[in-house]
Amino acid sequence: MALFLIKRLLGLVLTLLLAALVIFLVLEILPGDPAAMMMGVSATPESVAALRAELGLERPAAARFLEWLGGFFTGRLGLSYTYRVPVDGLIAERLAVTVPLSLLALGLAVAFGVTLGTLAAAKAHRSADAIIMGITQLGLAIPNFWFGILLVLVFAIGLGWFPAGGFPGWAADPMLAFRALLLPAIALALPQAASLARITRSTMLETLSEDYIRTARAKGLSRSQTIRRHALRNALIPVLTILGLQFSFLLAGTIVVENVFALPGLGRLLIQAIGGHDLILIKSLVLFYVATAIIVNALVDLAYGLADPRLRVGRA
């Protein structure tokens, strides 16, 4: 088990380093002067030179790369060019929106996806199944920015139950902040819930045809008891894999949805950074996204062991 963990950790670190290298190469080394790119076409040679000096672009690339990586541990990622504040503080501030938003969306997606998928499998080839599968087909087809706009039109502008956008912050009224996040979370969760429901349905159907399900029924468990106690955990093991992969899509979704709902989150920060040619901010943000996706997938790998005793290594 220890060896397995060490190997997995080593792979993780290598992947992260490689990702960081690619981001660094693309943004700082490839032809084109980063300083000139950030200042735009109207910049004078003197101001470009001044920025080059501020960014330390005259120093060797390897030193800059290592310094940047070190910044992730010390928190010194430099000053954002557009905001003129430290990048680490900026990211931390925006995480207060994006993390709760992602977790809320993930929770909704899992709750609805697994429940609906299980229900569809239990009622396979009957009308309830057809209706659920129809809805999920729709959920997969609708782009989430469009669904977000639709939610705003109906629930914010039409019914006035939720704010149409913006974020009041957690400090003043946490309940108000939560309400501001609910519609975007729903928009974000829709395609995830839809694909989770479809995957859960198929793995559940497969599980229900297993011999041990018949054993459980022979013991006297009802159909629904059998599904809850014997089938669900087995059916969710493959779903876990998909969930890990889907998390990346969820992160990408936050970028779009935060902009639709004008939420001051990480995704909106990224769009603003790109709009302002703020390379300093962009490179740290992109690496942050990549690292989150990679680390979540590694955590999913570890979660297998908890879900499936056959994958627990090093046990007698």
Partner 1 sequence: MLVLRDLSVSFRGRPVLRNLSLDLAPGETLGLVGESGSGKSMTALALMGLLPPGFVASGSIRLDGHELLGLADADLCRLRGRAMAMIFQEPMTALNPVLSVGAQIAEGLVLHGLMAPRAAREEAIRLMERVGLPDPVRRARSYPHELSGGQRQRAMIAMAIACRPALLIADEPTSALDVSLQVEILALLREIRDETGMAMIFISHDLSVIHAMADRALVLYGGLAMESGPTRHVIGRPSHPYTQGLMAAIPRGNAHTGRLRPIPGQVPDLSRLPPGCPFAGRCALGDTRCAEMPPPLRTGLTALHCHHAEPAPA
CA distance 216 to 237: 19
310 touching partner 1, by CB under 8 A: yes
Q: Which residues pair with 79 in a beta bridge?
A: 86
215 touching partner 1, by CB under 8 A: yes
CB of 133 to partner 1, least distance (A): 19
Of 2, 44, 218, 314, the one binding partner 1 by CB under 8 A: 218
Residues 235-274 that bind partner 1 (CB under 8 A): 237
CA distance 31 to 206: 53
CA distance 15 to 7: 12
Of 7, 59, 223, 228, the one binding partner 1 by CB under 8 A: 223
Burial class (CB in 10 A: 0-12, 13-18, 19+), 180: buried
Phi and psi angles of residue 79, each rounded to the nearest 5 degrees, phi first: -95, 135
234 touching partner 1, by CB under 8 A: yes
CB of 124 to partner 1, least distance (A): 9
127 touching partner 1, by CB under 8 A: no
Contact predicate 23/283, CB 8 Å: yes
The interface region with partner 1, picked from 54-62, 65-73, 212-220, 252-260 by CB under 8 A, is 212-220
140 touching partner 1, by CB under 8 A: no
Q: Give the binding-site size for partner 1 (rule: CB under 8 A).
A: 25
Of 216, 251, 279, 285, the one binding partner 1 by CB under 8 A: 216
CA distance 172 to 68: 35
CB of 264 to partner 1, least distance (A): 43
Of residues 64, 32, 59, the one with CA closest to residue 48? 32
Residues that bind partner 1 (CB under 8 A): 210-212, 214-223, 225, 229-230, 233-234, 237, 307-310, 315-316
